[in-house]
A = this chain, B = another copy of it.
Amino acid sequence: MSKVRFQLAISLDGYAAGPDQSEKDPLGVGGTQLHEWALKLEAWRRPHGRAGGDTGPSNDVIEEVQGNVGAGIMGRNMFGGGPGPWDEDHPWNGWWGEDPPFHCPIYVLTHHQREPLEMQGGTTFHFVTDGIESALERARADAGEQDVLIGGGASAVQQYLAAGLVDEFDLHITPVVLGAGERLLENVGDLELEQLRAIEAPGVTHVKYLVVK
């Protein structure tokens, strides 16, 4: 059955991004440290069009998390921030290049209406201005029997958690202490969780939780 999931890398003190996030530095100061373990994986390099990479437990986790995804959702800053409303003379197609690594429809939560943006490789960005539930409804319709993956950032994830719309999630807990930034598990309301698994990997611990409804 189709699930609504998310995955995020966090610091040991619970931050999904460092302080002083900006359009030029969306991960904030020190935030790239949260993703270092992932960048060298085969499962990360392949959808970005790069050969080679490490295998092992982290790679298996990422393969699984990225697998069986029929549609995605992300916040505007994860799409690429940038000036808005986007004007036709200065189009801005996000961080993700001409061939984004998603290869499925992606619903971008934003306040700025825009026509869908069809990229190479099967990714189309749809811009949703009427709220998280509308975005999820459309993503579910696209995903069919496959899952909907909320890509981030923390704010988008928080909204879906607080609304009780997430079925399960993977956290990649890194041995990093940021000390400041954007916390993941804040403003999420009452949340009852069941630990589904924990996997040790070099430089990161992968945990997975079911949201009890």
- List B contacts of A175 (CB < 8 A): 193-195, 209
- List B contacts of A186 (CB < 8 A): 13, 179
In the assembled complex, A204 has its CB within 8 A of some CB on chain B:
yes
The answer to whether B197 and A12 touch across the interface, beta carbons within 8 angstroms, is no
Q: Which of B13, B179, B185, B200 contacts A12 (CB 8 A)?
A: B185
Q: Interface residues, chain A, CB within 8 Å of chain B?
A: 12-14, 171, 173, 175-177, 179, 183, 185-186, 188-191, 193-195, 197-201, 203-205, 207, 209
The answer to whether B200 and A197 touch across the interface, beta carbons within 8 angstroms, is yes
Distance between Cα atoms of A178 and B13 in the complex (Å): 14
- List B contacts of A14 (CB < 8 A): 13-14, 185
Distance between Cα atoms of A26 and B50 in the complex (Å): 53
- List B contacts of A176 (CB < 8 A): 193
Distance between Cα atoms of A198 and B191 in the complex (Å): 24
The answer to whether B195 and A188 touch across the interface, beta carbons within 8 angstroms, is no
